[in-house]
């Protein structure tokens, strides 16, 4: 068991009624306010699913797979924490049932339990509590936000709830508090806010031994006074501890709405901290810029999970941050790559000021993405390719400029006569899919070009997630025709960035710049795209 540091405070955020209520945004926003008040804040996400990590999940299951600096492939909420709190977290900060069980079973096989019968209680719950504590303490924070995925009452959430209760027992009541996020639906022709679902979920939570200190009520408007009072009554908390979370124009307004309602004070008082007023000047300014915007530019995002915008959340936010810096509004035109293939034309792209082809896997939609790269290259439309979008831009160039018929990626056509994108040598013979790609932070050396001017330095470190790479055998031929690899790994052998000469902005990267994009520090490559799109618009 980990020994607790003196001042570590835990804020556990649970969700009731249904999922998708914005528990992640609630945790991030509360964390941000405390950070602005001068506390060092970190965050942990608990995911009750049996997957060890999110890496093997289809984006339609939980949205984007976010990649952390140490290469952990995690739930997109971790991306929200990193963006709101401007921090870099590690795999410790995402605890899944899969991870916990794996560890417990490994310990059992190793004989660590010394003959005991290994059970959910106490062994699994102990592993969860220790995991939470370790993540919090390793980050040397003062306050750790802990978001519990799922909804109170789910069978799979039970060990986590029990861990949440146990943590308070072990750390002391004054060091652990609970925020419960719930839905207050509006029904009927008069649009009445209804508290019954909230009442039930509070009861359920109390039945598990957790008494929420604060209730955050999601509704389309502020909670009516009598409704808030009623919820307070049922939860047995003061009226001020019922916080409204009405629909916001932007998620970045949520911390400010919480500030107005005094959420930080409630937390500080409850945890015995000094009441400090958060300095949100910088955040307020950003929130204003990100929502206002001037000129509008339109960027086509070519994906294959576009029905769920969260599948591309880090790109979406990166483009917004770039817009906030440049004083423009970035509108995304969501394009399904397979539709481009089916129609055989790029008509759907006409009129956009830029094209973004994000990461991806597999054949479905790949040719549609290649069509988009070709169009952007030929028509001088700003283009940003990321990972798959980098590899496909190379394939397009090899086919149409070098005339290499059948050029492809070994991932898409293992029999291609010109595998210009090939498997990474160290990946050959790797069969397991989970956590086996080239992942996380790797350094990249930049040579003269747009990327280097955008980054403003010679060596950068960016996050990766891939199994394939540009085949070194083709580099000289490709470069001779004007597509230059201006970013390479430290060995110089692995291609990391490409740029097309004599094009306003045709840039792509093997790494994922979107994962390190922050509100006040957008990814340089997204910034470059939006800047070029603005110039394109002005014609
Ligand atoms: N499928 C490609 C690879 O494995 C690209 C991966 C990605 O875009 N994240 O290399």
Q: What is the pLDDT of residues 262-310, one digit of tens each?
A: 999 999 999 999 888 999 999 999 999 998 878 899 999 999 998 888 8
Angle at 282 between CA 281 and CA 288, to 5 degrees: 90
Q: Where in the chain is the domain with CATH 3.40.50.300?
A: 9-284
Provide the CATH topology of domain 294-538: Rossmann fold (3.40.50)
Contact 214, 179 (CB under 8 A): yes
- Non-local (6+) Cβ contacts of 501 within 8 A are 482, 483, 484
Instruction: Name residue 13's beta-bridge partners.
Output: 147, 179
Q: Is 338 helix (H, G, I), strand (E, B) or coil?
A: helix
Q: How far apart are CA 359 and CA 339, in angstroms?
A: 18
Mean pLDDT of 351-361: 97
**pLDDT above 80 for 129:** yes
Ligand 1 pocket, residue 466 CB under 6 Å? yes
Ligand 1 pocket, residue 505 CB under 6 Å? no
Ligand 1 pocket, residue 361 CB under 6 Å? yes
Mean pLDDT of 368-395: 98
- 322-334 pLDDT, tens digit each: 999 999 999 999 9
**pLDDT above 60 for 470:** yes
Q: How far apart are CA 479 and CA 498, in angstroms?
A: 10
Q: How far apart are CA 211 and CA 205, in angstroms?
A: 7
**pLDDT above 70 for 203:** yes
Give the global pTM.
0.94
- Residue 45 sits at φ, ψ, to 5 deg, of -115, 130
- Nearest-atom number in ligand 1 for the CA of 361 is 1
Closest Cα to atom 9 of ligand 1: 359
**pLDDT above 50 for 1:** no
- Nearest-atom number in ligand 1 for the CA of 512 is 9
Given this structure, which CATH class describes domain 9-284?
alpha beta
Closest Cα to atom 1 of ligand 1: 361
Ligand 1 pocket, residue 365 CB under 6 Å? no
Q: How far is the CA of 26 from the centre of ligand 1 (A)?
A: 32
DSSP conformation letters of 184-225: --EETTTTEE--HHHHHHHHHHHHTT---SEEEEEESSPPPH
Contact 497, 444 (CB under 8 A): yes
Q: How far is the CA of 509 from the centre of ligand 1 (A)?
A: 11
- 409-434 pLDDT, tens digit each: 999 999 999 999 999 888 888 887 88
Q: How far is the CA of 86 from the centre of ligand 1 (A)?
A: 26
517: nearest Cα among 77, 14, 71, 79: 79
Q: How far is the CA of 57 from the centre of ligand 1 (A)?
A: 14
Q: What percent of the chain has pLDDT over 90?
A: 87
465: nearest Cα among 89, 92, 73, 60: 73
Ligand 1 pocket, residue 465 CB under 6 Å? yes
- 143-166 pLDDT, tens digit each: 999 999 889 989 999 999 999 999
How confident is the prediction for the chain on average, in pLDDT? 94
| Active site positions, annotated | 387, 512, 514
Ligand 1 pocket, residue 366 CB under 6 Å? no
pLDDT reported for residue 292: 81
Ligand 1 pocket, residue 359 CB under 6 Å? yes
Q: How far is the CA of 489 from the centre of ligand 1 (A)?
A: 17
- Non-local (6+) Cβ contacts of 112 within 8 A are none
**pLDDT above 90 for 21:** no
pLDDT reported for residue 236: 95
Ligand 1 pocket, residue 499 CB under 6 Å? no
Q: Where in the chain is the domain with CATH 3.40.50.880?
A: 294-538
Contact 82, 88 (CB under 8 A): yes
pLDDT reported for residue 6: 60
- Nearest-atom number in ligand 1 for the CA of 386 is 8
């Amino acid at each position: 068991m980990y020994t607790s540091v003196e001042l570590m405070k835990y804020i556990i955020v649970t969700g009731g009624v249904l999922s998708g209520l914005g528990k992640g945004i609630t945790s991030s926003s509360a964390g941000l306010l405390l950070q602005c008040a001068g506390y060092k804040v970190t965050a942990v996400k608990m995911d009750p699913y049996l997957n060890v990590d999110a890496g093997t999940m289809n984006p339609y299951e939980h949205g984007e797979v976010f990649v952390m600096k140490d290469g952990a492939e995690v739930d997109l909420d971790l991306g929200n924490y990193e963006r709101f709190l401007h921090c870099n977290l590690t795999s410790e900060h995402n605890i899944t049932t899969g991870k916990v069980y794996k560890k417990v079973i490994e310990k059992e096989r190793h004989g660590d339990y010394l003959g005991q019968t290994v059970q959910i209680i106490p062994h699994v719950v102990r592993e969860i509590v220790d995991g939470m504590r370790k993540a919090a303490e390793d980050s040397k924070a003062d306050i750790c936000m802990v978001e519990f995925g799922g909804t109170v009452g789910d069978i799979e959430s039970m060990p986590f709830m029990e861990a949440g209760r146990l943590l308070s027992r072990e750390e002391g009541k004054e060091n652990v508090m609970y925020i419960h996020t719930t839905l207050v639906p509006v029904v009927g022709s008069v649009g009445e806010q209804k508290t019954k679902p909230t009442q039930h979920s509070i009861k359920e939570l109390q039945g598990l031994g957790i008494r929420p200190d604060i209730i955050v009520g999601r509704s389309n408007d502020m909670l009516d006074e009598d409704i808030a009072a009623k919820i307070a009554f049922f939860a047995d908390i003061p009226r001020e501890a019922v916080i409204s979370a009405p629909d916001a124009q932007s998620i970045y307004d949520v911390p400010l709405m919480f500030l107005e309602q005094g959420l930080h004070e409630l937390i500080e008082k409850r945890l015995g901290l000094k009441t400090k007023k958060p300095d949100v000047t910088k955040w307020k300014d950003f929130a204003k810029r990100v929502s206002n915007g001037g000129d509008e530019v339109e960027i086509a995002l070519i994906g294959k999970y576009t029905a769920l915008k969260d599948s591309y959340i880090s790109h979406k936010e990166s483009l917004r941050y770039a817009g906030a810096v440049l004083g423009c509004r970035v509108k995304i035109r969501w394009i399904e790559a397979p539709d481009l293939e089916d129609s055989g034309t790029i008509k759907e792209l006409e009129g956009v000021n830029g094209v973004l082809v994000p990461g991806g896997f597999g054949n479905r939609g790949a040719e549609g993405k290649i069509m988009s790269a070709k169009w952007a290259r030929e028509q001088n439309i700003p283009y940003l390719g990321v990972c798959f979008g980098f590899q496909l831009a190379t394939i397009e160039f090899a086919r149409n400029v070098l005339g290499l018929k059948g050029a492809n990626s070994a991932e898409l056509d293992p029999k291609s006569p010109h595998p210009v994108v090939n498997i990474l040598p160290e990946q050959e013979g790797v069969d397991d899919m989970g956590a086996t790609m080239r992942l996380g932070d790797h350094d990249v050396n930049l040579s003269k070009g747009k990327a280097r001017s955008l980054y403003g330095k010679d060596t950068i470190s960016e996050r990766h997630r891939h199994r394939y790479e540009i085949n070194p055998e083709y580099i000289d031929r490709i470069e001779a025709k004007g597509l230059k690899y201006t970013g390479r790994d430290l060995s110089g052998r692995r291609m990391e960035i490409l740029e097309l000469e004599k094009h306003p902005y045709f840039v792509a990267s093997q790494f994922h710049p979107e994962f390190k994009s922050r509100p006040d520090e957008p990814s340089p490559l997204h910034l470059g795209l939006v800047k070029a799109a603005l110039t394109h618009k002005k014609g």
